Amino acid sequence: MEIMGNSLSPTPITDNLKTHIIGQRILYYPSVTSTMEVAKWEAQQEAAEGTVIVAEEQTAGKGRIKRIWLSPRGNIALSIILYPSVVHLPYLVMLASLAVVYSIKTITGLESQLKWPNDVLINGKKVGGILIESAIKGGRVDYAIIGIGIDVNLRLADFPELSPVATSLCDELGREVSRIDVIRHLLVELDRLYLVLPFGEPIYKQWRDRLVTLGRKVRVRLGKTMYEGMAESVARDGSLLLRCSDGSLTKIVAGDVTLRDYK
Ligand code: BTN
């Protein structure tokens, strides 16, 4: 049993953990630059599939599109090394997002939603994010890394600049949450979904159905270009299909979405 606010360690995470691939090997760091960096190095040394790198805190946590991911103690920051087939690569963000949503629900009872492409929200505020990094060599996946960050026991009152847009499980519930319980459930969900990846269609459908982005007017920034339109659907490769005001359908592979309906 984790004493709240205390450190994580591998044994309570792995003890009697019912997974086949994910979490059979766990590397724990009290402090690290980014679990993505460690995972990349480990993957290059051909680490076992399912190896998890978990850190108490990250000093240079990475978000999407080169953003900084704030990663103080008390939250969840972990990366998982996988070697999927190249056709399954687009599903990794979907399965990771679903695993986060299901774990939050099981452990806390809180409902969370997904914002395309990789945000997990509670009541419209970001509680978690997914980062996928992969390398392809000769048409095959050399490695893929799923990075997951969840604000668990973060007190947003300590970070006033973030409180309009971010939340934590603790702030939503008004009490601390065991990170070990969340991580254990997360690893079980990830393992279950990873094993059914060859039948990717249900994962795609469950992910699509949880996206709060769809059916909304959105602005999407992609580099220096801004797209505006109705988020109509998502394709099986994870890209967003945006119906623009001239009736054309634009496929957006990755971008930064503003959900607020605009005039
Ligand atoms: C995002 O929302 O932009 C993605 C955030 C991903 C953060 C996680 S925390 C664990 C892993 N290590 C990192 O440096 N980033 C990911």
**Residue that the structure tokens 């056709």 belong to:** 87
From the number of C-beta atoms within 10 Å of its C-beta (0-12, 13-18, 19+), residue 187 rates as buried
Extended beta strands in the chain, E state: 26-32, 52-58, 76-82, 113-115, 119-122, 125-137, 140-150, 217-222, 225-234, 240-243, 249-252, 256-258
117 preceded by cis ω (within 30°)?
Answer: yes
CA angle (109, 167, 206) in 5-degree steps: 50
Ligand 1 mean position, distance from CA 60 (Å):
10
- pLDDT of res. 258: 67
| 219, 240 Cβ separation under 8 angstroms | no
CA of 61 to the centre of ligand 1 (A): 6
Pocket residue to mutate for ligand 1, from 62, 68, 93, 167, most atoms within 8 A of Cβ: 62
Strand 125-137 with 256-258, pairing: unpaired
The answer to whether 229 and 195 are in contact (CB under 8 A) is: no
Nearest Cα to Cα of residue 98 among 82, 114, 111? 114
Distance from C-alpha of 74 to C-alpha of 76, rounded to nearest angstrom:
7
pLDDT of residue 100: 98
Contact 179, 6 (CB under 8 A): no
Instruction: Map tokens 């290059």 to a residue.
Output: 44
Per-10-residue mean pLDDT for the chain, 263 residues long? 60 90 95 97 97 96 90 95 95 97 98 95 96 93 97 93 94 96 97 91 93 90 83 93 89 72 43
Name which of 119, 116, 130 is nearest 76 in CA terms.
Answer: 130
CA-149 nearest atom, ligand 1: 9
- Interval between CA 48 and ligand 1 midpoint (Å): 21
Handedness of CA 66, 70, 72, 78 (dihedral sign): negative
Q: Model pTM?
A: 0.94
Which DSSP state fits 36? H
Spacing, Cα 111 to ligand 1 middle (Å): 21
Q: How many CA atoms lie within 13 A of 150 on its CB side?
A: 29
Measure the CA–CA gap between 207 and 114, rounded to whole angstroms. 8
pLDDT at 244: 87
Q: Whose CA is nearest to atom 16 of ligand 1?
A: 147
- 92 φ/ψ angles, rounded to the nearest 5 degrees: -65, -40
- Residue 263, pLDDT score: 35
Query: CA gyration radius for the chain?
Result: 18
